[in-house]
Amino acid sequence: MKFTIMVNEGPYQHQSADSALQFARAVLAQGHEIFRIFFYHDGVNNGTRLSVPPADDRLIQKEWSELAKEHDLDLVICIAAAQRRGIMDEDEAKRQGLDANNIIEGFRISGLGQLIEGGIEADRTVVFGD
């Protein structure tokens, strides 16, 4: 089975990001495919490389990045939601006249069309968060 996963909550505000990560791991462990993981609303905060949680907490952004690298996953951050929350890749930062970017390896920024395509291409779309 092929899945698209949508994550609508940030990594430290809600259980949704953790649940989505665990779901993605379970899907892959069972031999299923993940077409795309789309981060929307506060979920875009899963893609920042500048988050520094306490030493005894997990760094969920790094966990997403490592999972993407290990399984060649497509992690897409919604551009409109990212801009509102200050999440920029190198190209978008330049386009906006900013001198820095903060996206973690393995993520990319794109539009809602990527979510629509994911829904079309996947057998199931699973949404985590409101």
Residue 78 known to be catalytic = yes
Q: What is the pLDDT of residues 100-112, one digit of tens each?
A: 999 999 999 999 9
Q: What is the mean pLDDT of residues 91-119?
A: 95
The span from the CA of 96 to the CA of 87, in Å, is 12
Task: For the domain made up of 2-128, give the CATH fold.
Answer: Hypothetical Protein Ychn; Chain: A, (3.40.1260)
pLDDT value for 60? 94
More confidently predicted of 4 and 13: 4
Please state the domain extents for the chain.
2-128
Range scoring the smallest mean pLDDT among 35-44, 53-62, 71-80, 95-104: 53-62
Q: 124-128 and 107-110: which strand pairing? A: unpaired
Contact 73, 115 (CB under 8 A): no
Furthest-apart CA atoms within the chain: distance in Å: 44
Instruction: Name the active-site residue from 44, 67, 73, 78.
Output: 78
Q: How far is it, in rounded angstroms, from Cα 22 to Cα 90?
A: 29
Q: Residue 107's pLDDT is what?
A: 98
